[in-house]
Structure 1
């Protein structure tokens, strides 16, 4: 089976911004883009993206999960990057048009259609290091994907990094490629030195997020995660998991969490930890690595509450449980 996110639908939707207005969207081949080598994005990283999924239900319908929330976050990212303002209605149409056209290509659960809207600055002006791009491209790629956990969900190993940060603090809530690129070297080094799967960035002892996912700690019936601020990504899967936890009667604590408290709680029997994100939904964490020492989280294996929360979210996405929060947009 091809690696997650490496197979693409042959067409995408595309719109452009110039002369203070957006063009109509069109469906074009997805194997190329055309813009000048001096494009703002290539030199000054004026780009952001989103990741969301469409799911095929047993009745044959195709439903996009939390599209409005992803569009709102992309509008925010574009604003914080000084990209041209996104027309929400235009982006919604671009997503639904291409998903509807290729609805029959949406895999059945546990697979899905991964949706990747992308916005990038295209003005050819290499002298604009301190000025925004006045033109841009907006496009929506589709990638049919299988089960992220093919072969079983293995508990991850995380290196706790107290010195570095994933990205600049004021950029954390922007879903921009540069933030992911800045975390690649620490992650690669952690894999090589500690056989870690990811780095959990904890600048000054403040537990934040990994290079590509939000972090949650589960202690009994309490879910603990960092309170929202500008330093880390406001994950939509994170929000969904916390909402479901509240629905299940769990206590949700969005607050500061120190490395010391994390290690103390992790040592308790029954404690669980997990990473949340669009691709993997909720991935169990079994080992924390801190100052060259390894600490098991609870049993060191995937825990029952993590699995319960993941299954509850999947049940809504797959149409097997009531969508009482209005998260699904039916396409076909």
Structure 2
């Protein structure tokens, strides 16, 4: 694996105060870049001062959307150590997403090292206040100049990072979601399992309509029957009915969330009954009416997000009395505890800077 060249900025900025942080608004002093050219492969890994790109107006990504990204976080614990959460799994997912868009595979060790090294360079930007983190956005875009529908022959992999606060303004308080059978985000056989820019573009209109009705996010139903739960716009969805915890299966139309996997691992470790199976909106509504429902979303940005209200076909259903459920809270506290180093990491999920995890 080639060494990463580092060019430090001559004009470092002052990181913002932890209390002022929003999500995705501020970025650090540096970024990582790696180029791909057919016949040469991936080459020239480097960290340079953060700044804009120059792209030709006929650049492939601008016309045909050949772009993927991922998202993970670095956390500064009370002990001062910086921990990356499930770095290796996110690196692997970059390539899984790229496979769907015909993007050449990047050496997973290079992905890990690019993230690790960039966080080390900008480590003074990692905030300390509980609930804050350094968000990390690895991205690949197609850069060949042409008009015509075929995979690009050149690409740019880059990583940018920035300090963040809570993703939702509600914080850990329950959010309101709207289940829609009118709009579709993805279907089996499509791009739903990839973390690609187009999937998020496909969600915008439905999300805007939900926001006009006072909801935080859309709960997407399957694209064929408009009946079975898929995922929320920025999260996988889970629910507890009776003694069963249920989440939709990875059938090709939803993202294999890293936080989803972490949550399922914890639930099974705790001995709970867990099912990855189709769950219909009718089953969910019936459980809500019977007051036998706890519901939450899982994702890197918000970690665990309780659902306090569900809208569907003009009706509103209160979930768990509009309060955060006991299991939801336990999941949040456990994952966050592992991320910040206040709870033991029995699953080997964290990578501490200066202490590289092997194997």
TM-score range with shorter-chain normalisation?
over 0.9
2:296 is aligned to 274
Distance 1:36 1:219 in 2: 53
TM-score scaled to structure 1, two decimals? 0.95
1:291 aligned residue (307, 310, 313):
313
Q: Secondary structure at the match of 1:120?
A: strand
- Is 1:264 paired with 2:286? yes
Do 2:21 and 2:163's aligned partners in 1 also have CA atoms closer than 8 Å? no
- Residues 173-196 of structure 1 deviation map (CA, whole Å, 9 limit, x = unaligned): 10011111111101111221x211
Q: Secondary structure at the match of 2:134?
A: strand
- Is 1:65 paired with 2:62? no
1:121 is aligned to 142
Tell me how large the CA RMSD over aligned residues is: 1.6
- Residues 131-177 of structure 1 deviation map (CA, whole Å, 9 limit, x = unaligned): 10010000111111124467652311111112332134321010011
Where do residues 143-162 of structure 1 align in structure 2 (5 Å cutoff)? 143-148=162-167, 152-162=171-181
- Is 1:321 paired with 2:343? yes
Q: Secondary structure at the match of 1:34?
A: coil
- Residues 26-74 of structure 1 deviation map (CA, whole Å, 9 limit, x = unaligned): 1112221123221111100000000001111233221110011111111
2:28 is aligned to 9
Q: Secondary structure at the match of 1:154?
A: coil
Distance 1:197 1:110 in 2: 20
Distance 1:149 1:80 in 2: 30
Gap runs ≥5 in structure 2: 1-19, 355-359
Q: CA deviation at 1:222?
A: 2.6
Do 2:284 and 2:293's aligned partners in 1 also have CA atoms closer than 8 Å? no
1:181 aligned residue (177, 184, 201):
201
Do 1:62 and 1:330's aligned partners in 2 also have CA atoms closer than 8 Å? yes
Report the count of equivalent residues: 329
Q: Secondary structure at the match of 1:159?
A: strand
Q: Secondary structure at the match of 1:53?
A: strand
- Residues 100-155 of structure 1 deviation map (CA, whole Å, 9 limit, x = unaligned): 1122321123211110000010010112x1x1001000011111112446765231
TM-score scaled to structure 2, two decimals? 0.88
Distance 1:173 1:34 in 2: 30
1:139 is aligned to 158
- Is 1:28 paired with 2:45? no
- Aligned CA distance change for structure 1 residues 144 and 125 (closer, same or farther; 3 Å): same
Q: CA deviation at 1:220?
A: 4.3
Do 1:286 and 1:298's aligned partners in 2 also have CA atoms closer than 8 Å? yes
- Residues 275-295 of structure 1 deviation map (CA, whole Å, 9 limit, x = unaligned): 111111011111111111111
Distance 2:314 2:300 in 1: 31
